[in-house]
Amino acid sequence: MRPGSGRAVDEMYGLMQEHALALPLVLRRVERYFGHKRVVTGRVGGESTATWAGVCARTRRLAAVLDRLGVPGGARVGTFGWNSQRHVELYLAVPCSGRVLHTINHRLFHEQIRYIVDDAADDVLFVDRSLLPAVWPLAESFTSPRHVVVMDDGADAPLPDDPRILDYETLLAEVTPFGGEFAIADENTAAALCYTSGTTGNPKGVLYSHRSMVLHALLLLMTDTFGIGERDVVMPVVPMFHVNAWGLPYAAMLCGADLILPGPATRPEELVSQLERHRVTFTGAVATVWRGLEPLLAGHDLSALRMIICGGGAVDDALSRSYERAVGIPLTNAWGMTETSPVVTVSRPATVHDDLDPDARRAVIGSPGPAIPLTELRLAGDDGAEIPWDGVTPGELQASGPTIAARYAGEELPGPAFTGDGWLRTGDVATIDAHGYVRIVDRTKDLVKSGGEWISSVELEVAIMADPRVAEAAVIGVAHPRWGERPVAYVVPKPGAGLTSEDVREHLTSHVARWWIPEQVIFITEIPKTATGKFSKRQLRLQHQHDVSPEE
């Protein structure tokens, strides 16, 4: 109230309509305005095309199926799926009907999947038929899911004879579609859940709200973010189980872009042909995917592409240069985390970069860039004090904003990943220049990012040391031309054990996922330690740079 104005007390507040920022707004928009636009899904041996109108109609059926299965409001609905139309239907029906969409990475090790499904207490699971062989063997040990709904993607994986197994299309055909208006009264209601690997211990759940997801979708449309609009043909190669495919499906719905979903057709030849055939204008994936496509670029017309996001890790300049030559545009880097919805920075050359030569401009585009609106960043030193934005002094990157997690699912209070004043500690070490352009220079979290997926070095060490022939083991991540990073194990064998690197790898096969197993096992007499007796990974990284022999 303005002092002395005599206005009613309620005019301390603006007099605008209180309207929940919730996903039904997105659904209504794509249904009403963009019903004629396309959603294409790659299938085993072909592809299928639907309109957004068709997708929305099936979404209404799916919401009725969830009711019929008795899935309570607020319950978690787990998905194991490729990027597909049906997964989009789940993206809409589950949160818009008041349940929580829980996307699960089927590539995780069995123990992690089991933990995640139980921790989330998923009431029902939706599984692509081609992924059933990976998921069904675990079904006996899941405690919560009452049903497993199979989405037939053309794979010939056998269907178990079990009363819990239901068929997606049969269920959809049997119900009367939900005919009302989807409504979420409180915009802070949980909408989606995604687990992320911690350095140690179990994966942690990040619980997105309707509000955070709507804001994130809007932010992706901004010109200086991805600038996605109705004329775009958007192809998320980034999996729909990874932070909602970076929010791209919701952004496409909000503005009515065509959506091209690769389905299980994710081999480089298949991806490049989809990009070409559908005249895709906007796409996003991790560097390993773009590296896989690089040799095929010359044989395809990808001239419709206006932006290729290479996120989740650093962009290598040689790769970006290849794209610039072959496609006409370099790779654009973006930084984010599961905890940050995920997009926080996107690099767009600003007016201050106008005088740069092409190589320097490509370097700007290939680095994380400045924060998009609404998220604030800061750098903190070891003592917690803020570090100036001088472009050279590194500090821990911390983030705050309405699309950033406040704490993990199941935590009463924010844990050590959050500062006392509520900012997210990212575990990345960065510099920020005077114009806000971020560069990632190191990582404090003890994780290795291989092909866009996390490997916990601490868990690998524990698994290696579970072998009685091993005295000590430490794992570091090293740069790798294909996967971005790979783990390298330094192992101290027990005297007389006669251990070989093959023995170590063989032992690991029953402890961790196959892709976690280090190609390189290096035997040493002692792991270097810090003053407090911890493994000195920094020392080990330096040592690795000097190591000449690649094996043993």
Separation of alpha carbons 208 and 91, rounded Å: 13
In sequence order, the 6+-apart residues with CB closer than 8 A to the CB of 265 are 42, 43, 44, 47, 271, 274
Closest CA to 519 of 542, 534, 532, 502: 502
Position among 342, 366, 401, 493 found at the interface with ligand AMP (CB under 6 A): 342
Position among 264, 311, 395, 451 found at the interface with ligand AMP (CB under 6 A): 311
End-to-end Cα separation, the chain, in angstroms: 74
* Residue 387 or 497 with smaller CB distance to ligand AMP: 387
Could you tell me whether strands 190-196 and 204-209 are parallel, antiparallel, or unpaired per DSSP bridges?
Answer: antiparallel
Dihedral pair phi/psi, residue 493, rounded to 5°:
-75, 155
Separation of alpha carbons 290 and 465, rounded Å: 36
* Residue 136 or 389 with smaller CB distance to ligand AMP: 389
Position among 368, 451, 484, 493 found at the interface with ligand AMP (CB under 6 A): 368
Separation of alpha carbons 254 and 30, rounded Å: 6
Does 443 interact with ligand AMP (rule: CB under 6 A)? Answer: yes
In sequence order, the 6+-apart residues with CB closer than 8 A to the CB of 123 are 71, 72, 75, 76, 77, 144, 145, 146
Does 314 interact with ligand AMP (rule: CB under 6 A)? Answer: yes
What residues numbered 158-197 form the site for ligand AMP, per CB under 6 A?
196
What residues numbered 413-442 form the site for ligand AMP, per CB under 6 A?
426-428, 440
Is residue 342 reached through a cis peptide bond, with omega within 30 degrees of 0 on the bond before it? yes
Site size for ligand AMP (CB under 6 A)? 21
Distances (CA, A) of 298 to 61, 183, 269, 275, 303: 44, 48, 12, 13, 11
Closest CA to 307 of 258, 214, 257, 235: 235
* Residue 150 or 243 with smaller CB distance to ligand AMP: 243
Report the nearest approach of ligand AMP to the CB of residue 242 (Å): 7
E strand spans, 73-128 = 76-80, 100-103, 124-128
Write out the two tokens for 163: 């009363």
Separation of alpha carbons 32 and 22, rounded Å: 16
Give the residue numbers marked as catalytic.
196, 339, 449, 454
Report the nearest approach of ligand AMP to the CB of residue 64 (Å): 34
Report the nearest approach of ligand AMP to the CB of residue 445 (Å): 7
Position among 104, 151, 280, 337 found at the interface with ligand AMP (CB under 6 A): 337
Cβ-proximal residue to ligand AMP, closest one: 338
* Residue 262 or 313 with smaller CB distance to ligand AMP: 313
* Residue 136 or 454 with smaller CB distance to ligand AMP: 454
Position among 244, 320, 333, 450 found at the interface with ligand AMP (CB under 6 A): 333
Does 316 interact with ligand AMP (rule: CB under 6 A)? Answer: no
Position among 178, 208, 335, 483 found at the interface with ligand AMP (CB under 6 A): 335
What residues numbered 462-521 form the site for ligand AMP, per CB under 6 A?
none
Position among 249, 312, 330, 395 found at the interface with ligand AMP (CB under 6 A): 312
Residues forming the site for ligand AMP (CB under 6 A): 196, 243, 311-314, 333-338, 342, 368, 426-428, 440, 443, 449, 454
